[in-house]
Copies of this chain bind each other. A is one copy, B any other.
Amino acid sequence: MALPTFHDVERAAARLTGIVRETPIQTARRLDAASQATVFLKCENFQRVGAFKFRGAYNAVAQRPSSKPVVALSSGNHAQGIALACRLTGKEAHLVMPEPVNPVKQAAVRDYGGIVHVPADPQDADSFSRALVQELHGEWIEAFNDPDVIAGQGTAALELLGHVPDLDVLLGPIGGGGLLSGTCLAAHGLNPKIQVYACEPAGALDALYSVKENRIVPQEDPQTIAEGLRTSVGTLTLPILRKHLTGFFVVEEEEILAAMRFIYERLKLVIEPAGAVAVAPLLRHEPALQGKRVGVIISGGNVDLSRYFDELSNGMA
């Protein structure tokens, strides 16, 4: 597969106009004061399905043959993105969601008209998915290692830079690298001088090693609250990351939680842990960010708050 380019991101942006939400860019004195930088948060937690993943999913779904059902493997935001994109384009969506399945996410996928498949053996989800593609004569859309998905994810940074062109640095969380690859393409297509840093949990540190060693270092036994970041990079994202990334910021779990809490309590935004991963380097005053104009892609806001509300509810009874 050919690597996607800046022009693919631009074409994706045209395709997504009126379909994706142009999410707000939040600024806050409190965050600027705490980080000693000028920060612009691209709030993809306000995106449809609650995460940037809808951008890539729609961009890929819209370009596949119209008659074929779509198959995807995801327990999270990609599944919701594919399901909604298929509903909007009149396609059938089959989502392979291995155990342990979050019932809220499964219900959300079904609400969008998606057909949920739970493989009997979660270790076998890949071959289960391949068999399903064959059986349905379906189109397979990978969560990040797909040129159309990568180009779609890049449209978040493209929108941000359209409003704030003079950023010095862009930050985003890294899992499979779809968001970061697209962000790199968008940023450097507009301005090669923008520095792009990947933010990765110390407990799931495969992307950093993959980029260093120029091979896909598998993610084994990841230990992080940022569940969206527990995957390895792919054959398409790795070369883009190697070419474009300025570097990595590695963040500890306590930093993720502290950043999440800061954003909830001070900025009043519900964000998922992966989104907080990209805020954490600002709060610890990374020298590369001091005094800079920094854009942050807040990946999403899909987080399980049921225990919080159950407790509030019990407190009332």
Contact = CB atoms under 8 A, between A and B. Distances in A.
Interface string A273-317: 000000000000000000000000000010001011101110110
A43 B24 CA distance: 13
A305 B225 contact: no
Interface stretch (A156-164, A174-182, A206-214, A260-268): A260-268
Interface in A110-158: none
A225 B257 contact: no
A268 B301 contact: yes
A270 interface: yes
A32 interface: no
Contact of A268 (B50, B225, B257): B50
Contact of A257 (B46, B267, B313): B313
A99 B29 CA distance: 30
A20 interface: no
B307 A257 contact: no
Contacts of A301: 268
B268 A264 contact: no
Given A225-B312, A253-B316, A257-B313, A268 B307 contact: no
Given A307-B308, A307-B311, A316 B257 contact: yes
A305 B258 CA distance: 12
A86 interface: no
A62 to B, nearest CB: 19
- For this chain, the copies found in one complex come to 2
Contacts of A257: 309, 312-313, 316
Contact of A305 (B48, B254, B308): B308
A264 B254 CA distance: 23
Interface string A236-277: 000000000000000001100100110011111111000000
Contacts of A183: none
Contacts of A260: 309, 312
A29 B21 CA distance: 10
A183 to B, nearest CB: 21
Contacts of A45: 268
Interface in A24-75: 24, 26, 29, 43, 45-46, 48, 50
Contacts of A316: 225, 253, 257
A50 B269 CA distance: 11
A51 to B, nearest CB: 10
Contacts of A305: 261, 264-265, 308
A23 to B, nearest CB: 10
A54 to B, nearest CB: 12
A259 to B, nearest CB: 11
Top 8 closest pairs, chain A to chain B, by CB: A268-B301, A268-B270, A308-B308, A45-B268, A261-B309, A253-B316, A264-B270, A264-B305
Given A46-B268, A261-B309, A270-B270, 10 more contacts: A24-B26, A50-B266, A260-B312, A261-B305, A264-B309, A265-B270, A268-B270, A269-B269, A308-B308, A308-B311
